[in-house]
Amino acid sequence: MQAVYYVGLGLWVAVLDLFTGHHRSLDSMFKYQELQVKEVHGRAVMVAFILNALTSSLGLWKVVQRTKQCLDFTVTAHILHLLASWCYNGHLPSQPSVWLLHLVTITLMCVLGEYLCMRTEMQYIPIMNSKVDL
């Protein structure tokens, strides 16, 4: 799931970097200072994180395939990203916007992943038409 998370994030950041004209680097994925609402590139990186939550929810649907495990895999992916970002920056983020963004992406990824998995799980339950003879 971590590979799905980073491949999706890398692709979204690369595509949006093309539109903003910003140079592609790992800073866009890991550096807290890149997530700025005031700058066009910062907003594009935030949009990339949100789009990646949607893409990763498809990964939950295809890889995990269990509604009950979606929250575990989502939180694990985001905690590992937080640890990687912590190592990359040398400190935890202090901006509330970073924490809010990750809370939004965790919620989106988990809820949509659970919805998709639940729809798939419900398909396999046969509904029998029971008639009682009176």
Annotated domain spans of the chain = 2-123
Token pair recorded at residue 27: 């800073």
Confidence of residue 130 (pLDDT cuts 50, 70, 90): low
What average pLDDT score do residues 95-116 get? 94
Q: How far apart are CA 6 and CA 26, in angstroms?
A: 11
Q: Which of 8-17, 85-94, 107-116, 122-131 has the lowest mean pLDDT?
A: 122-131
Asked if 2 and 64 count as a contact pair (C-beta separation under 8 A), the reply is: no
Q: What is the DSSP letter of 130?
A: -
Predicted confidence (pLDDT) per residue in 59-84, tens digit: 999 999 888 999 999 999 999 999 99
Give the list of residues 6+ apart from residue 1 with CB closer than 8 angstroms, or none. 56, 59, 60, 63, 64, 73, 76, 77
Token pair for residue 110? 């988990």
Higher local confidence (pLDDT), 78 or 35: 78
pLDDT band at 127 (very low <50, low <70, confident <90, very high): low
In the DSSP assignment, the letter for residue 104 is H
3-state secondary structure of 117: helix
**pLDDT greater than 70 at residue 17:** yes
CA separation for the pair 8, 112 (Å, rounded): 16
And the tokens for 100? 């809010």
Q: How many CA atoms lie within 13 A of 13 on its CB side?
A: 21
